[in-house]
Amino acid sequence: MEFFRNTNIDFLGKKWYFLAFSLVFSVAGILSMLFWHHIPLGVDFKGGTMVYVKYTHAPQPDKIRQTLDAANLKDARIQSFGQAGNDEVLISLNIEETSEAALDRGKNQIIRALEIGAETTGDIANKKDLQNSSADVIAADLLQRDPLHLGTDAQAQYAQFAQAVANYRDKNPANEGVLHNFNELANLVPAPVLQTLQQDFYLSDFAVRNVEIVGPQVGKQLQRQALLATLYSLAGMLVYLWFRFELIYGVGAVVACFHDTIITVGAFSLTNKEISLTVIAAILTLIGYSMNDTIVVYDRMRENLKLLRREKLSDIVNKSINQTLSRTILTSGLTFLTVLSLFLFGGEVLHGFSFALVIGILIGTYSSIAVAAPMVVAYQDWQASRSSRGPVPAAAEQARKQKARVKA
């Protein structure tokens, strides 16, 4: 299947336009990383607290922001979490301090701020929030009030009732982590126990589903590992292409991948989107994807160098790019449509991952044509000019080297 055949686009003739395009976006991203938003690292790399919150209604990010600002948590990030309609948000707080106490303090600050701004059912004076109370807290309250007058067996019985309430709240799919009213508990506990719960507890409009804390030392280690993973992947590809083709091919492919990475990270900086571990996974994915496209073009160049020895190298490279263009558009286009759907409909959790792939696939496909291949031509022409030979001998010499390598 092909979209088009026998194309004859002069890609190398437009190399200065390609260079201008790459410079504009690369320089804009680098300037943003250095002077504007810098590299917006997420909690995974900087350390901090992530609080997953479930609401009884559709959450209002602006109202949550006002509540956190009033509690002096102005650097907190708020984003939707899970599928649309789940009424969940993820609140992240970057904390520069290194102690575990500071991390716990950040978690408690978020929870207290949400409690202050929560919508509640009934009078809350001197009451505890049943949405965010553990089974132990519920059991202790029931044991103290002893509404059933159980005597010696009270502790075990009330612990069982408290655990039933907590399990119904947290594990029942119909509730998804929150209680909407006390009547839901009527079939779980006796009437005197339910009455005591209504007297001593209230229901807020949110429940903290989960809390994740990342220490700064772990964050620094993840930064180093992410950087090393990227560098090792580029170095491994350079060595492979050096062995499989020639060194200049490997250099061209690695420069193209580095170009893709800079523009993708620059896009995150320009849009002030956080870079998390999933984004690093996406960047490594797009490096491999871009390299695959580049190798397809290089392989066709090598075949044509053996068949078209008397033609100029630039003409051979143009022909090779045109011959692989339909394949490139088909594979990259279908992959792009997939990741675009993931970006539009995949939810907030995958937003950074899919955004990196959307940008990376576009730039990776472009760089295989406009960066990697022209670098080989530029190098060969430079070599030819140094030895006072024209482009035809350069192509012939290139074909000779390839033929010798195949025979070996």
* Mean pLDDT within 327-347: 89
Alpha helices in 272-312 (DSSP H): 277-307
* Residues making up the chain, counted from first to last: 408
CA distances to 178, 253, 263 from 91, rounded to whole Å, are 18, 40, 28
CA–CA dist 218, 208 (Å, integer):
24
* CA-derived radius of gyration, the chain: 30
* Mean pLDDT within 337-348: 87
> Is the distance from CB of 9 to CB of 325 less than 8 angstroms?
yes
CA–CA dist 250, 248 (Å, integer):
5
Residues of the chain with CATH 1.20.1640.10: 12-42+215-407
Report the relative pairing of strands 128-129 and 201-204 from DSSP bridges: parallel
> Is the distance from CB of 94 to CB of 43 less than 8 angstroms?
yes
| pLDDT digits 0-9 by tens, 82-99 | 776 778 888 888 765 555
Structure tokens at 70: 């009033």
Better-scored residue on pLDDT, 74 or 307:
307
In CATH, the number for domain 12-42+215-407 is 1.20.1640.10
CA–CA dist 151, 95 (Å, integer):
48
| pLDDT digits 0-9 by tens, 58-68 | 888 888 888 88
Average pLDDT, the chain: 84
> Is the distance from CB of 196 to CB of 147 less than 8 angstroms?
yes
CA–CA dist 207, 115 (Å, integer):
10
Q: What is the pLDDT of residue 394?
A: 47
Structure tokens at 141: 């309250």
Q: What is the pLDDT of residue 367?
A: 92
Which residue's structure tokens are 């893709």?
Answer: 260
> Is the distance from CB of 158 to CB of 231 less than 8 angstroms?
no
Helix 247-271, helix 277-307: angle, nearest 10: 150
| pLDDT digits 0-9 by tens, 125-170 | 788 889 888 899 999 999 999 999 887 788 999 999 999 999 999 8
Structure tokens at 197: 């719960």
Share of the chain above pLDDT 90, in %: 26
The b-or-e profile of 36-46 (16+ CB within 10 A means b, else e) is eeeebbbbbbb
What is the SS3 assignment for 218?
helix
Backbone φ and ψ of 75, nearest 5°: -95, 5
**DSSP code for 205:** S
Residue 57 has pLDDT above 70, yes or no: yes
Give the alpha-carbon dihedral of 379, 370, 4, 297, to 10 degrees: 50
Taking residue 144's Cβ as centre, other Cβ atoms within 10 Å add up to 11
